[in-house]
Amino acid sequence: MTASTPLRVLVTGASGFVGGVLFARLDHDAGFEVSGIGRRPGFHPAYRSLDLSAPEAAAALDDVLADLAPDVVVHAAARSEPWGTVEQFTAQNVTATTRIVRAAARAARRPRIVHISSASVLYDGHDRIGVAGDAAPARGLGIYARTKAAAESVVREYPGEWVVLRPRAVFGAGDTTLVPRLLDAARRGRLPRFGQGPAGPALSDLVPVDTLVEYIVRAATAPGARGRTLAVTGGDPVRLEHEVFRLLEREGIPLPRRTIPRSAALALGAASEAVWRLARRSGEPPVTRYTVAAYAYSFTFDARPTVDLLGPPLVTTRDGLDALQLREAVS
């Protein structure tokens, strides 16, 4: 790319939460020429509907990459729900990633791949503070975490340039997973207070979606990001339960009264998962190990390598939460 030539970026999962915000960000920046693919119907002339887990996706991707010749592929497509079958998670997280990597490797000019992974690959059912962004994946609590770790391994085998980003708990306008799920659980009376750990309520890193998107843009262009696995946070770790209670108060939702020890909640999540699978029940269990680990156990990154390489967060966690609370209060 020269000073007058836009960087061509292909965003997978462009109809989703993170991919959609990224697509909009690049679409309004003259320094980029953005295209997108995703499972949902088309919403933009530069967007194509393509399910990466479908059998025909492998051949279609060759045509897409030949046609667009992207400099960068941002792989944001994934199944990010905390529940689903092994087949669903494998198809949408591992198979889809494999197809992206293989198509990029076959391209006449191999693009840089920026892969959006997840901090969940490091969850192990214990409090973890100051975890290195490139730490080896844990055994994983749930199929989602395990398949995201497997997808990372696929990306690291790519013969071209790659970057793996591990965001922790993305939130912001358009979020359909983190904050909405917590509010819905509270409305239904399913959100308890969790017993505190030795250091008090769970201390958590979070990342505003605008910050994650800006880090993706930086990772797409920074020479030093090549071959790196980087944590992505908004800084300012927070007591997550306290922040959720603030949101509940703004929404006029009664605060939880029941208190459940974290270890008991984790065991209940494992039991619920087992019952749902054995009984082949539809829908999501009322609690899973993944959701307990993400909400009730402390998890923070040592994000200094990311800041040193890519700069400070565009929006801090504190500012992002304050803005989210304002939007929720007036919506």
Segment 280-292, tens digit of pLDDT:
787 788 888 888 8
CATH 1.20.81.30 fits domain 7-171+206-233+298-315: no
Residue 8 clears pLDDT 70, i.e. is over it: yes
Q: How confident is the model at residue 196 (pLDDT cuts 50, 70, 90)?
A: confident
Residue 207: how many other CB atoms lie within 10 Å? 30
Q: Look at the chain and count its residues.
A: 331
Predicted pLDDT at 57: 94
Q: Can you tell me the distance from the alpha carbon of 133 to that of 117, in angstroms, rounded to the nearest whole number? A: 11
Q: What are phi and psi of 170, to 5 degrees?
A: -80, 135
Q: Dihedral (C-alpha) 135, 233, 181, 42: value to the nearest 10 degrees?
A: -100
Predicted pLDDT at 327: 44
Structure tokens at 278: 């054995």
Segment 259-281, tens digit of pLDDT:
998 889 889 988 988 888 888 78
In this structure, are residues 217 and 150 in contact, taking their beta carbons and an 8 Å threshold?
no
Predicted pLDDT at 325: 54
Mean local confidence (pLDDT), 14-33? 96
Q: Domain limits of the chain?
A: 7-171+206-233+298-315
Predicted pLDDT at 326: 41
Mean local confidence (pLDDT), 122-142? 90
> Pick from 2, 1, 44: which is nearest to 19 by CA?
44
> Which run of H or E residues covers position 279?
none
Segment 201-225, tens digit of pLDDT:
889 999 999 999 999 999 999 999 9
In this structure, are residues 293 and 125 in contact, taking their beta carbons and an 8 Å threshold?
yes
Q: How confident is the model at residue 199 (pLDDT cuts 50, 70, 90)?
A: low
Predicted pLDDT at 156: 98
Positive or negative, the CA dihedral 183, 184, 189, 191 is negative
Segment 40-63, tens digit of pLDDT:
887 799 999 999 999 999 999 999
Tell me how far CA of residue 96 lies from CA of 55, 72, 152, in angstroms.
Answer: 10, 17, 12
> Pick from 113, 3, 7, 106: which is nearest to 59 by CA?
106
Ramachandran sector of residue 235 (left: φ over 0; alpha: ψ -120 to 50; beta: rest): left
Q: Can you tell me the distance from the alpha carbon of 121 to that of 148, in angstroms, rounded to the nearest whole number? A: 7
Tell me how far CA of residue 79 lies from CA of 89, 108, 257, 276, in angstroms.
Answer: 6, 29, 32, 19
Helix axes 317-330, 240-251, angle to 10 degrees: 20
